[in-house]
Structure 1
Amino acid sequence: MNTSIVIADDHPLMLRGLTDFLTSKGYNIIGSAQDGNAAYNLIVKLKPDIAVLDIRMPHRTGLEIAEACKKNHLNTKVILITFDKEEELYDKAKEFNVFGYILKEFAIEEIETCIEHVINGTPYFSEEIASYLNASNLAQRPEVINSLTKSELKIVKLISESKTSHDIAEDLSISVRTVDKHRSNIVAKLGLDNKPTSLSIWANLNKNHL
């Protein structure tokens, strides 16, 4: 593959893991760094097609590097890897033309898909982040919880306890099909997307209010 990539992460194991993984997949890794200043200097010097950056690094964060790339009209497309799910960081990433935003715990699973999207000019944002933000935006709205029926509240409470549809069906002595129908109705009422994780995330965010 001719696409050139620079990787930066202040955690040596993560840096080595990503580098080794992408190298094994045939990607052209032309440089790596363990802090933000070194990463930005590599981008300026080597002009890689893609920079895979930890969002939190010493001296300069991944977001600050993305901002500098935008300000200085550098063509390198930035992919951020993070543990953070804060909406403010997500919004800033989009403001600074970040092309990829994935969670660290899923980095190895998602990085190749993310890079392929970016190569094709399509931004890639982790579904886990999008689901979390979608659920989080509704977390503090009591009227949303009040819209649920008693049966639906029971199901949401069990979902917050990490119970599967089969577990819930057994606990409530109803069919799995009925549980799934309730889940579908709950998702619609809450205005969540249809990703499998959205309702679980919402239930966990609101478990103290159920």
Structure 2
Amino acid sequence: MDPSIIIADDHPLVLKGLNDFLNENNYNVLASAKNGKEALALIKAHVPDIAILDISMPFLTGLEIAEKCKKEKLSTKIVLITFEKDEAIYNKAKSLGVYGYVLKEFALEEIENCIDSVTKNKSYFSPELIEHIKVSKAPENLNSLTKHEKNIVSLISKNKTGVEIAEILSISTRTVEKHKSNIIRKLKLESKQNSLLIWAKENEQFI
């Protein structure tokens, strides 16, 4: 079954180009929006499988929409399209559980692969972006983790909560939190919120 899609971009030509491309390729585009406020309203009304959002839009940015969707536990998977190759924005997107990050100059080339990956619950980030921010080298301290700890990190990278991880691995949530603390210590991460999630997303391909 084709995923239902909503798209949003404040540039009319970009929005039309993306909308036409998806429709020509028989994707199920439910609606389109020209600003962040409209996009969020459409997401809440339709709860599409995927929302393809420009990062920079009036009223609400793509990142702000992703944050609101996460807080309200909406099932829509967020894909961001942007010209930005900024590592801080990339990390923020990862921490919010964004599934896709496509650079606009490659949008029409990559969007089908991105949608295919996201539909299979796999994240997709433009190869050009990954190369640009140099996250393609496996971290040396990854080997310090046990197989069990790597399993937990892998589940974290898939946006699983502590409760969900406990259920999947048949352990208590307290044990999950203890493992997470050990992982943070071994990886020498900052103890601030989302540091482990960001690390897990960045290194997903090595786990």
Counting matched residue pairs gives: 136
Stretches of structure 1 lacking an aligned partner (at least 5 in a row): 138-210
How does the TM-score come out when normalised to structure 2? 0.64
Q: Residue type matched to 1:133 in 2? A: I
- TM-score (ref. length: structure 1): 0.63
Task: Report 1:155-174 matches (<5 A).
Answer: none
Give 3-state SS (helix, strand or coil) of 1:90's partner: helix
1:8-157 → structure 2 map (5 Å cutoff)? 8-134=8-134
Displacement of 1:87? 0.6
Query: Which amino acid in structure 2 is aligned with residue 77 of structure 1?
Result: K
Identity %: 55
Letter in 2 for 1:6: I
Q: Secondary structure at the match of 1:31?
A: strand
The residue identity in structure 1 corresponding to 2:75 is N
Match of residue 192 from structure 2: none
- Residue identity matched to 1:38: E
The separation in 1 between residues aligned to 2:128 and 2:68, in whole angstroms, is 27
Match of 2:195 in 1: none
Counterpart amino acid of residue 113 in structure 2: T
1:134 counterpart SS class: coil
* Residues 112-149 of structure 1: CA deviation (Å, up to 9, x unaligned): 110000001100000000000018x9xxxxxxxxxxxx
Query: Hey, what's the Cα distance between the residues in 1 that align with 2:61 and 2:52?
Result: 12
Offset, 1:64: 0.3
Instruction: Determine the structure 2 residue equivalent to 1:185.
Output: none
Q: Which runs of 5+ in 2 are unaligned?
A: 138-207
Separation of aligned partners in 2, 1:117 and 1:133: 21
The one-letter code matched in structure 1 to 2:4 is: S
Computed over aligned residues only, the root mean square deviation of the Cα atoms, in angstroms, reads 1.3
Offset of residue 2 of structure 1:
3.0
Kindly provide the CA deviation profile for residues 27-57 of structure 1, in whole angstroms up to 9, marking residues without a partner as x. Answer: 0000100000000000000110000000000
Deviations for 1:97-118, whole angstroms, at most 9, x for unmatched residues? 0000010000000001100000
Corresponding residue of 2:153: none
In structure 1, distance between residues paired with 2:100 and 2:67: 14
Question: Distance in 2 between the 1:103 and 1:2 partners?
Answer: 23
Cα separation, 2, equivalents of 1:16 and 1:123: 25
Q: Deviations over 1:37-93 (max 9, x none)?
A: 000000000110000000000000000000100010000000000000111100000
Q: Secondary structure at the match of 1:85?
A: coil
